[in-house]
Structure 1
Amino acid sequence: MNKDIIQGKWKQLAGQARVKWNKLTEDDLGVVDGHREYLVGKLQERYGWAKDQAEREVKQFESTL
């Protein structure tokens, strides 16, 4: 999915992201606001993952959309 589409539909996709990554808070998702790099950073912060693992998770999430 195109990053512009993700940003445009973030309000709808945020619920799906919250289900997939339940450690993310509503505030986290608000800060992310559809920006991929912010999402990767929040996943690193909440789950303690390395950047490459967080990138893989986001890429997998994007492929399911």
Structure 2
Amino acid sequence: MNWDVIQGKWKQIKGDAQAQWGKLTDDDLDRAEGDREKLVGVIQERYGIAKDEAEKEVDSFYHKHAA
């Protein structure tokens, strides 16, 4: 996977991330900066889920937006 695609378009797709994970604030998304590991961490923190579950959600998000 090439996460650079997401990082490069982060400002444009940040709204989509907020729509998918409604508990994330603008500050959370700014803190993630489009970085996969940071986004996984923020999702774990806000939703109280395991890292592997957060990674699955982020990977699903990636597949929707990387094309």
Give the TM bin, normalised by the shorter chain: over 0.9
Matched, 1:21 2:21: yes
- Post-superposition Cα deviations, 1:1-26, rounded to whole Å, max 9, x if no partner, equal 63111111100111000000000000
- Partners of 2:2 and 2:14 in 1: how far apart? 16
Normalising by structure 1, we get a TM-score of: 0.95
Number of residues paired by the alignment? 65
**Secondary structure, aligned partner of 1:22:** coil
Matched, 1:39 2:20: no
CA RMSD of aligned residues (A): 1.0
- Post-superposition Cα deviations, 1:33-60, rounded to whole Å, max 9, x if no partner, equal 1100000000000000000000000011
* Displacement over 6 Å in runs of 4+: none
Where structure 2 has 5 or more consecutive residues not aligned to the other structure, the ranges are none
Where structure 1 has 5 or more consecutive residues not aligned to the other structure, the ranges are none
Normalising by structure 2, we get a TM-score of: 0.92
- Partners of 2:44 and 2:3 in 1: how far apart? 20
